[in-house]
Amino acid sequence: MNATLAMLFSLFITLLALSSSSLAAPFEVFVPPVTYPHAKTVWRAGEHHNVTWDVTDAPKQISNSLGYIFLRHAGKIDLAHPLAEKFDILKGHQRVKVPHVAPGHDYQIVLLGDSGNWSPKFTIRA
Ligand SMILES: *[C@@H]1O[C@H](CO)[C@@H](O)[C@H](O)[C@H]1NC(C)=O
């Protein structure tokens, strides 16, 4: 390889390295596991409860730190009635009011932010 070719080659490698580092997303996807409610949880309509999730593995920067909590029941997420919205997903907990819904054993909390996560199925009583 002559000197000019070697220079072009190293320039090419440098550009490649630069472009791949700028292509690499600066944000990581954060999927926080819901720790409460869990499978043995029983809530009653009208009560306030503190939904919690594990933030110990949270990356320093995430693409969306605004969280939403919805209720899922019978295979449907009730997107029209969030239990909480626009809170900081990195704080790891959020107080919600249990809505007046049909009693059932297959309710789930859906935590949305950077990514979505569902709690185990739990019970809501009248
Ligand atoms: C909710 O839970 C978190 C984490 O366990 C705790 O730090 C916080 O004080 C609780 N908040 C309420 C309102 O109970």
In whole angstroms, what is the distance from residue 47 CA to residue 87 CA?
20
Cα–Cα separations (whole angstroms), residue 13 to 5, 8, 82: 12, 9, 50
In whole angstroms, what is the distance from residue 18 CA to residue 22 CA?
6
User: Residue 64: its pLDDT value, please?
Assistant: 73
Kindly give the confidence (pLDDT) of every residue in the chain, 126 residues in length, as a single tens digit, with 9 standing for 90 and above: 556 555 555 545 444 444 444 444 455 566 778 999 999 999 999 999 999 999 887 777 777 789 999 999 999 999 999 999 999 988 999 999 999 999 999 999 999 986 678 899 999 998
Tell me if 52 CB under 6 Å of ligand 1.
Answer: yes
User: Residue 59: its pLDDT value, please?
Assistant: 73
Residue located nearest, by CA, to atom 2 of ligand 1 = 93
Which residues lie closer than 8 Å to 17 by C-beta, 6 or more apart?
none
Tell me if 100 CB under 6 Å of ligand 1.
Answer: no
What are φ and ψ of residue 111, in 5° steps? -100, 115
* Structural domains of the chain, ranges and CATH numbers in brackets: 2-125 (2.60.40.10)
For residue 105, the cross-strand partners are none
Distance 63 CA to ligand 1 centre (A): 25
Pocket test for ligand 1, best of 50, 56, 69 (most atoms within 8 A of CB): 50
Tell me if 93 CB under 6 Å of ligand 1.
Answer: yes
User: Residue 15: its pLDDT value, please?
Assistant: 47
Where b means 16+ CB within 10 Å and e means fewer, 95-104 reads: ebebeeeeee
